[in-house]
A and B are shown apart, each in its own frame.
Chain A
Amino acid sequence: MPGETPEPDGGVSQTITKPASRENGDSPADGESTDDGHADSETAASEFRGEDLVVGYPSSEQPVIDGASIEVAPGEVTALVGPNGSGKSTLLKGLADQLALDSGVVRLDGTDIHDMETKELARKLGLLSQENVAPDSITVEQLVEHGRYPHRGFFDGLTDADRAEIDRAIELAGVEHLREREVGQLSGGQKQLVWIAMVLAQDTDVLLLDEPTTFLDLHHQLEVMEIVRTLRDDSDMTVVVVLHDIQQAARHADRMVALKDGEIRARGPPEAVITERLLADVFEIDAAVERTPRGPRIEPLHPRHEGDPDKQS
């Protein structure tokens, strides 16, 4: 079971396997690993990690995430996957300081993010929630402009730098043609791209996306994942993305973290994480996994029920 470390309260010392290029069809050698993501410090990308996180909602006694540690490799795309209710969105909110941690600490470049001023954090860490609402009558440009909020003081107008950043974000998200349209007139997919443009205008080093592709048509799903890839390649951004679709995660992420019942069940590059055993264990499905040059391909077969015989991988 390469890369799989089913430790409910896994410490920080967990090894993280080095990302392997999937495009050339290389299958990663088992056990090939380095100690830490920040060891390869030739990149300027931000280092981001959560240590022994216990996260829950004020309304319930039991924490949803009970002692998970996650280290996000700088300048890479990390996908959080897991079945409904596995705590992947909760973990993301805990990492973004949107849910108070019961214990544990989230560090961004070594600093505890809870000690950072809210605007200072928002200049370094962007979060796009799963569902977003905006008044129908504002224009796309006005919405993207709000991404500059953490960079502006109470009385500050828009500077030229702000405008340049807004233009860049709109271009990156590919919504130039929608610029003057009212948000209420857009389709779901277009809206999502516009929201991504807003969070890009924040100009952060780390970007957290909560199910950005759920409910989108295939075209827009690919658009979103392509933007994520561009951000990683061109801007050296560290991206953590919650994905509902495990196949999508396998295809686009450098690393995957699989959760179930608030525990991290596996982590590592997709080739290591996506196994028939893991799909049975975490997603409770029987599936066939096929290695392809574009990463593992999953063919879901049956739902598994309690008492089903263990599938041999």
Chain B
Amino acid sequence: MASESATATDSVSRHRRAFEWLSGSLWTVVLGSLLVIAGGTLVQVSFGSFSTTPIEAWQALFNPDVIFNLQAWRHFVFGAEFPVLGAELPEMNRRSLIVWNIRFPRVLVAILVGMNLAVSGAIFQAVTRNELASPFILGVSSGAGLMILLVLVALSGATLVIPYVVGSVVLDITSLLPIIAALGGIGAFLLVYAIAWKNGTSPVRLVLAGVIVGTVFQSLQTGLFFFASDIGVVQSAIAWTTGSLTGVDWEQVRMALPWTIPVLILSVSSARQLNVLLLGERTASSLGMNVERMRFALSTVAVVAAAAAIAVAGIVGFVGLIVPHMVRNIVGSDYKHLVVGCLFAGPALMVAADVGARLGLMVLAGSSEQVPVGIVTGLLGGPYFLYLMRKQDTMGEI
């Protein structure tokens, strides 16, 4: 019996080691990402057309007059017009104003966008059981892109009259662009699902339907560019369709946060469902999962995440594709670790890319122009896949 107890302890210690190794690699991702986010934040709040030294910027960021000012937080979180809870921005010095009202919220938006896109991509990779799936694989980006072009080109200047309690509110339709874009994305996703449905769906059918809808919408979108009247509209359309964080502030934080929180909770708590889906439809179904319903529910979570990101930043490519991939390479395919890793690594990539988008041209060409962040993520994403292709023999199925 001595040998038996020896193997028992052996197995326990092996168990512990495996456990430590797993959480160890996850810790690496989390800590590494936090470092990148902190570094990126420091750079973003320090530099720009109104330059401060990093130390001054940190001081402004950790200015106790702002951090412990309830009125300031009410302004940040609820805005000036929100009934009861909203508030005007309190007096603060110029440096704090720039850091807190312009530069820091941009970092926050980058973090939220990174989280949403990374988690969305991770979910779609499990749903389609394909490592190369992205948040936009089921038509979300093409639907959103088409609506953006429609609004900017065909409907610009149109106003929407919404009857209100007393009188009516007249809204310029372009101010609703974020919501219209997100709704366009969700609409395209539903269309893809409807096309793919034939006594149920399958990953392959879904992806094919995504390609069909994507191709048609992409053509319509490109066609609409011909009707753009001036270069400003074209630039605005390009910024939206490649993804940009230029000019975002607390309003975008307020827009994305209410969607990000449920997405976050749902994605972490459905990690086990995602793991079972990875075993394939037949196994999942014989284990008692209602695969069709679960697939639609999880896709909906992922689409809402992608739509929230699109509403504040436009269509940022590659983040949702490469972040889950990078995290999987480090922590493995277990979604309990993968989702958590994505929630940190996504923001890290997005914050770092936005540093390049905002300050890259200043460093390289001395110009104060900014490029859309989607261009930077694409420039980072391409070479990363080249590296993977060289390193790995097999890519594709998880």
Contact = CB atoms under 8 A, between A and B. Distances in A.
Given A98-B282, A135-B278, A180-B18, A118 B334 contact: no
A146 B279 contact: yes
Interface string B351-370: 00000000000000000000
Nearest to A154: B269
A304 interface: no
Interface string B285-304: 11111100000000000000
Contacts of B283: 129, 132
B332 A138 contact: yes
Nearest to A127: B286
Given A135-B398, A142-B334, A149-B276, A118 B11 contact: no
B289 A118 contact: yes
Nearest to A133: B280
Interface in A121-153: 121-123, 126-129, 132-139, 141-143, 146-147, 149-150, 152
Q: Which of B273, B285, B288 is the most central at the interface, judged by chain A CB atoms within 10 Å of its CB?
A: B288
B218 interface: no
A69 interface: no
B334 A137 contact: yes
Contact of B18 (A120, A132, A139): A139
Contact of A179 (B11, B279, B333): B11
B394 to A, nearest CB: 10
Given A133-B279, A133-B280, A134-B278, A118 B290 contact: yes
Interface in B170-185: none
Interface residues of B, number: 28
A89 to B, nearest CB: 11
Contact of B269 (A133, A141, A143, A155): A155
Given A135-B398, A155-B269, A176 B11 contact: yes
Most chain A beta-carbon neighbours within 10 Å: one of B18, B276, B279, B332: B279
Contacts of B201: none
Nearest to B270: A154
A134 B279 contact: yes
A128 to B, nearest CB: 8
A132 B14 CA distance: 27
Contacts of A132: 279-280, 283
Nearest to A149: B287
Contacts of B279: 132-134, 143, 146
8 tightest Cβ-Cβ pairs between the two chains A and B: A122-B288, A135-B333, A150-B288, A119-B288, A137-B332, A127-B286, A149-B287, A118-B288
Interface of B: 11, 14-15, 18, 198-199, 269-270, 272-273, 275-276, 278-280, 282-283, 285-290, 332-334, 397-398
